[in-house]
């Protein structure tokens, strides 16, 4: 077991099992709750891939999410019940790049951890339960259609991208899920659910050796066939698909979102730098400390719903910013002007220093949340970055580097606007 | 765990819980006021105006920049409603001094800004800045109008408002549009100064090394007079069922059933009611979830929640159109079952375990450790997590039955796409 000190003086215990599964355990003394997450590097973007000896395989969109639902099926006792017995609550989520199964509990941690490893290793798929799930997921996808926040975001990504699967909801489309079969689910499960393509993280008042032993024993039971899979992303043009998209819905005020896609996808240290720099750049435009935010707020163009964020991973890079507003056209003009002004004036060293302090403070405060720690460690591992390296990466990032990102981030031909308007 | 108590000034109570478990220090200040037609809108607007600036940081931008420099210190204010009280809540969260350079100094600076946020706002001509005041008035009106965007919250509020139309509890947490429109800077500012002088104030701090906290809080400019006594909740004894059907262009109907309870926070048998609510609808194993959702497939979601201060139990369900009557019948039947004592040992044990582990989970979150005391300060009786867990653990099936027997259905409200009658 390898030990690493965190900035809070906690000790992260890491070990890699013989089958390739990395385990990360962060003991936090005094916490009541114990939290574990078991994740696979397989998300909604992975619908086309190259399999060694088989060539390129294309499967319907939404399989990763469909599998996530299905793994909760069990021949004898429903998975939720198995955890409820220990007073533990179990859950799961699928993102663009990973699927995660997790639970938290006060008591019976070893028992619940064995349950987690057991159900992820043992899918129970039948024609009948897969057919039933199609109906449930279709309802879920239709429900999102009525949600203004999701609608405006989805419309924006469709405007930004021509072919990249990030255009689609993580769950796929109502049409694509109809093509998902028991055979396809098994095929994807067998290809991606492999110890070397997965990771396990635990946080809470636990004994690291005990946790590692439980996982080691439970993993020995797993029958799987080692496979080499390489996901493939379609070629995506630099330009956006559509500069502006509008839709009407039953809402009390219009909403406006501006997006920029970036063509350079990073990994490892470069990705960490990109994430930190873009975070600082957007703070400079959209945080309460920003003169841009103050100007837009004081003129009544935006309210506290105004937000901006950068989303970057080895498979994609884009930014979104927007708010409720009574005048989307004027907000578009003023926000774009502010971006142009910042690109010319650049971030000052004082401003960059202030933002670095803010980001460091948030990083430290996150040590209060076991959920955040466990999920964050895995997401960073899958991105090839290191959660514990964030303070150092932040410290070494210079204002000139940040301004270099700034000069590349906002190209008008790589931007699109998504607007929602109230029904007339 | 338990808080230690210090009196700061007349009616200003400080509660400290020192622990190394957290990477932050969290401080919250609660100023109580009664929920009343004359002041509800003003109380809602005050926190929104206060966060726009303080004496030393007269704009929100300058205040936010200071907070960034203090390693992402969080500072803010909001309004809570609990029973027939409105509580202005101020919150402050900063990284533990030992984890940042010059941490102790940063902590003192942050606490000074926090004190200004509460006691020394940005003023103009002796009252709230005109610009801040009017902009936030507009924002508050838009927020109140925006309730319609969230159908579930809208439906619950319509039910409660109709249920309590002759009681203070029927006042909206953020005030009504007409009340907000009439607000002016001078009377609102004077009202706030009055509250600072004579309303009950409770302050909680959680985190490592709180040794400077009492001194820092004592140094804020308190000008306290005699403490105002706030009235208890109005209890309606004479309950008659009413039904309200509203139609709007919605895909999913929202059904709300409002019950009055016989027990409240200070009742000796309050925890019997709390467990009864758990068995009815607070968990995935609860009767409502199992019978309305899983067995009858009527609801997308369904739960029940308890307002232990006012004494209300509210059932909320998202249901398919035209199934409201059927859903109402099943809910009634579940309550009747608990009243008759048709509760399995497993239901009772799981519910108690669920409530107790909920309390333990709260102890991992500094904000939740503080917030769980809100109901206690309103009733002048704080209860430690251990006390509450012990009382839940000792609840018998008979006490649960008793809790349920005190439930009286007051209002059935349904928001649906078509006419409710089937």
| Residues A189, A201: Cα–Cα separation, whole Å | 21
Say what the pLDDT of residue A424 is: 78
Radius of gyration of chain A (CA): 23
| Residue A352 within a domain | yes
Distance of residue A276 Cα from the nearest chain B Cα, in angstroms: 15
Which residues on chain B are in Cβ contact (under 8 Å) with A8? 23, 99
The DSSP call for residue A366 is G
| Contact between B64 and A370 using a beta-carbon 8 Å cutoff | no
Chain A residues within an 8 Å CB radius of B145: 252
Element spanning B254, H or E: strand B253-260
- Six token digits for residue A46: 């992975």
pLDDT digits (tens, 9 = 90+) for B202-259: 999 999 999 999 999 999 999 999 999 999 999 998 999 999 999 987 777 899 999 9
Provide the CATH topology of domain B242-416: Cytochrome Bc1 Complex; Chain A, domain 1 (3.30.830)
Is the Cβ pair B61, A289 closer than 8 Å?
Answer: yes
pLDDT, tens digit, for every residue of B178-189? Answer: 999 999 999 999
The whole domain housing A309 covers: 244-422
Domain boundary among A200, A231, A262: A231
Q: What is the CATH number of the domain that holds A15?
A: 3.30.830.10
Asked whether residue A236 is assigned to any structural domain, the reply reads: no
Q: Which residue has the tokens 């009858």?
A: B296
The set of residues, in sequence order, having a beta carbon less than 8 Å from that of A156 and lying 6+ positions away, is A245, A257, A259, A320, A416, A417, A418
**Gap from B68 CA to chain A (nearest CA, Å):** 5
Contacts of B101 (CB under 8 A, 6+ apart): none
Question: In this structure, are A50 and A168 located in the same domain?
Answer: yes
SS3 A219: helix
Distances in Å between the alpha carbon of B415 and those of B204, B244, B251? 40, 9, 10
Chain B CB contacts of A33 under 8 Å are: 360-361, 364
**d(Cα B273, Cα B403) in Å, to the nearest integer?**
4
Domain boundary among A172, A196, A231: A231
Own/partner contacts of A132-141, CB < 8 Å, gap of 24 or more, are A133/A66, A133/A69, A133/A70, A134/A177, A134/A178, A134/A180, A136/A69, A137/A62, A137/A65, A137/A66, A137/A69, A137/A171, A137/A172, A137/A177, A138/A174, A138/A177, A140/A171, A141/A169, A141/A171, A141/A172, A141/A173, A141/A174, A141/A177
Domain boundary among A187, A204, A231: A231
Are A164 and A85 in the same domain? yes
A-B Cβ pairs (cutoff 8 Å, strict): 113
User: Could you tell me if A172 and A311 lie in one domain?
Assistant: no
All residues of chain B having their beta carbon less than 8 Å from the beta carbon of residue A357 are: 68-72
- Closest alpha carbon to A354 in A417, A284, A416, A294: A284
d(CA A94, CA B165): 45
Q: Which residue of B has its CA nearest to A149?
A: B149
Closest-CA residue of B relative to A423 is B249
Whether residues A256 and A227 fall in one domain = no
Do both A34 and A97 map to the same domain? yes
* Residue B29, token pair as written in the block: 């200040």
**Paired tokens of A5:** 């000190």
Closest partner residue to B135 among A291, A300, A360, by Cβ? Answer: A300
Residue A314 tokens, joined: 């080895």
Taking the C-alpha atoms of residue B4 and residue A348, their distance in angstroms, rounded to an integer, is 46
Give how far the C-alpha of residue B356 lies from the chain's centroid of Cα atoms, to the nearest Å: 20
Q: Using CB atoms, which residue from B61, B131, B249 is nearest to A291?
A: B61
Same domain, A36 and A163: yes
Would you kindly state where each structural domain of chain B is located, as residue ranges? 4-218, 242-416
Same domain, A218 and A264: no
Residue-level pLDDT, tens digit, chain A, 424 residues: 999 999 999 999 999 999 999 999 999 999 999 999 999 999 999 999 999 989 999 999 999 999 999 999 999 888 988 998 898 999 999 999 999 999 999 999 999 999 999 999 999 999 999 998 888 888 788 777 778 889 999 999 999 999 999 999 999 999 999 999 999 999 999 999 999 999 999 999 999 999 999 999 999 989 888 889 999 999 999 999 999 999 998 788 999 999 999 999 999 999 999 999 999 999 999 999 999 999 999 999 999 999 999 999 999 999 999 999 999 999 999 999 999 999 999 999 999 999 999 999 999 999 999 999 999 999 999 999 999 999 999 999 999 999 999 999 999 999 999 999 998 7
Same domain, yes or no: A117 and A253: no
Inter-chain residue contact B60 with A148, CB threshold 8 Å: no
Complex ipTM above 0.90?
yes
- Say if A206 falls within a structural domain: yes
Distance from CA of B59 to the nearest CA of A (A): 9
CA distance A359 to chain B (A): 7
Q: What is the dihedral of CA A424, A416, A288, B204, to 10 degrees?
A: 80
Number of domains, chain A: 2
Out of A32, A362, A370, the one facing B72 most closely (by C-beta) is A362
Judged by a CB distance cut-off of 8 A, whether residue A294 touches chain B is: yes
Identify the bridge partners of residue B30 per DSSP, sorted by sequence position.
B89, B202
- CATH-assigned architecture of domain B4-218: 2-Layer Sandwich (3.30)
Contacts of B60 in chain A (CB under 8 A): 288, 294, 297
Four-residue CA torsion sign, B375, B378, B382, B387: negative
Q: Do A361 and B353 touch (CB under 8 A)?
A: no
Nearest CB neighbour to B64, from listed A7, A33, A287: A287
- Position A239 in a domain: no
Does A304 reach chain B within 8 Å, measured CB to CB?
Answer: yes
Say yes or no: A224 and A294 in one domain. no
d(CA B131, CA B123): 11
Tell whether A71 is covered by a domain. Answer: yes
* Residues of A catalogued as catalytic: 68
* Shortest Cα–Cα distance, B307 to chain A (Å): 25
Would you call A326 an interface residue with chain B, using a CB distance cutoff of 8 Å?
no
Residue A295 in domain = yes
Question: C-alpha distances in angstroms, A80 versus A39, A72, B58, B137, B278?
Answer: 18, 7, 52, 47, 18
Q: Within this chain, do residues A185 and A40 fall inside the same structural domain, yes or no? A: yes
């Amino acid at each position: 077991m390898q030990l690493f000190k965190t900035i809070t003086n906690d000790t992260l215990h890491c070990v890699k099992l013989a089958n390739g599964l990395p385990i990360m355990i962060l003991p936090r003394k005094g916490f009541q709750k114990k939290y574990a997450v078991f994740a696979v590097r397989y998300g909604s973007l992975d619908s086309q891939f190259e399999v060694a000896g088989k060539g390129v395989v294309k499967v319907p969109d939404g399989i990763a999410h469909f599998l996530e639902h299905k793994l909760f099926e069990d021949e004898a006792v429903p998975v939720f019940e198995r955890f409820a017995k220990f007073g533990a609550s179990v859950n799961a989520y699928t993102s663009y790049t990973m699927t995660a199964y997790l639970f938290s509990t006060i008591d019976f941690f070893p028992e619940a951890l064995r349950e987690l490893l057991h159900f992820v290793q043992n899918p129970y798929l039948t024609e009948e339960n897969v057919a039933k799930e199609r109906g449930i997921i279709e309802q879920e996808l239709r429900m999102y259609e009525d949600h203004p926040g999701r609608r405006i975001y989805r419309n924006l990504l469709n405007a930004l991208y021509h072919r990249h699967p990030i255009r689609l909801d993580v769950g796929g489309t109502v049409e694509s899920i109809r093509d998902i079969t028991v055979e396809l689910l098994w095929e994807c499960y067998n290809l991606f659910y492999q110890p070397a393509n997965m990771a396990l993280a635990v946080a809470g008042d636990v004994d690291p050796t005990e946790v590692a032993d439980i996982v080691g024993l439970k993993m020995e039971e797993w029958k799987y066939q080692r496979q080499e899979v390489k996901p493939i992303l379609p070629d995506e043009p630099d330009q956006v698909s559509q500069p502006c998209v509008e839709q009407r819905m039953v809402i009390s005020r219009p909403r406006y979102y501006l997006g920029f896609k970036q063509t350079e996808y990073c990994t490892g240290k470069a990705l960490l730098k990109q994430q930190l720099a873009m975070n600082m750049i957007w703070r400079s435009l959209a945080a309460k400390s920003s003169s841009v935010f103050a100007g837009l707020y004081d003129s009544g163009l935006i309210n506290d719903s105004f937000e901006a964020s950068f989303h970057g991973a080895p498979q994609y890079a884009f930014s979104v910013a927007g708010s409720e507003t009574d005048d989307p056209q004027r907000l578009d003009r003023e926000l774009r002007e502010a971006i142009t002004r910042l690109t010319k004036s650049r971030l000052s060293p004082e401003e960059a220093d202030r933002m670095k302090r803010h980001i460091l403070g948030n990083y430290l405060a996150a040590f209060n949340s076991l959920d955040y720690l466990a999920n964050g460690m895995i997401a960073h591992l899958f991105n090839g970055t290191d959660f514990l390296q964030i303070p150092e990466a932040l410290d070494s990032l210079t204002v000139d580097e940040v301004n270099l990102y700034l000069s590349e981030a906002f190209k008008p031909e790589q931007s699109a606007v998504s607007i929602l308007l109230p029904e007339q | 765990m338990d808080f230690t108590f210090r009196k700061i000034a007349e009616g200003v109570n400080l509660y400290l819980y020192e622990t190394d478990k957290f990477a932050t220090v969290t401080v919250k200040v609660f100023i109580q006021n009664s929920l009343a037609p004359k002041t509800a809108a003003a109380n809602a607007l005050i926190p929104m105006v206060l966060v726009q600036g303080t004496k030393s940081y007269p704009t929100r931008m300058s205040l936010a920049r200071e907070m960034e420099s203090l390693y992402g210190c969080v500072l803010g204010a909001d309004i809570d409603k609990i029973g027939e009280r409105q509580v202005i809540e101020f919150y402050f969260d900063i990284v533990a001094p030992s984890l940042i350079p010059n941490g102790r100094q940063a902590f003192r600076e942050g606490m000074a800004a926090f004190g200004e946020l509460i006691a020394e706002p940005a003023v103009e001509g002796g009252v709230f800045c005109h610009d801040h005041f009017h902009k936030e008035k507009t924002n508050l009106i838009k927020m109140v109008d925006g309730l319609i965007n969230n159908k579930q919250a809208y439906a619950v509020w319509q039910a409660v408002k109709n249920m309590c139309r002759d009681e203070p509890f029927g006042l909206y947490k953020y005030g009504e549009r007409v009340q907000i429109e009439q607000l002016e800077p001078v009377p609102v500012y004077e009202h706030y100064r009055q509250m600072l002088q004579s309303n009950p104030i409770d302050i909680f701090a959680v985190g490592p090394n709180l040794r400077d906290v009492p001194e820092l809080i004592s140094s804020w400019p308190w000008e306290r007079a005699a403490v105002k006594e706030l009235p208890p909740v109005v209890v309606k004894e004479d309950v008659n069922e009413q039904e309200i059907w509203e139609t709007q262009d919605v895909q999913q109907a929202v059904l709300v059933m409002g019950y009055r309870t016989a027990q409240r926070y200070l009742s000796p048998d309050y925890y019997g009611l709390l467990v009864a609510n758990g068995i009815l609808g607070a968990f995935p194993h609860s009767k409502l979830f199992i019978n309305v959702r899983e067995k009858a497939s009527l609801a997308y979601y369904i739960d029940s929640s308890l307002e232990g201060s006012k004494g209300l139990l509210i059932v909320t369900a998202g249901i398919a159109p035209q199934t409201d009557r059927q859903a109402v019948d099943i809910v009634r039947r579940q309550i009747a079952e608990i009243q008759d004592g048709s509760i399995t040992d497993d239901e009772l044990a799981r519910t108690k375990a669920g409530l107790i582990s909920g309390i333990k989970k709260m102890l991992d979150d500094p904000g939740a450790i503080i917030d769980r005391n809100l109901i206690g300060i309103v009733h002048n009786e704080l209860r430690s997590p251990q006390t509450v867990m012990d009382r839940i653990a000792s609840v018998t099936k008979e006490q649960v039955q008793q809790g349920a027997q005190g439930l009286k259905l007051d209002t059935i409200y349904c928001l649906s796409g078509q006419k409710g009658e089937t």
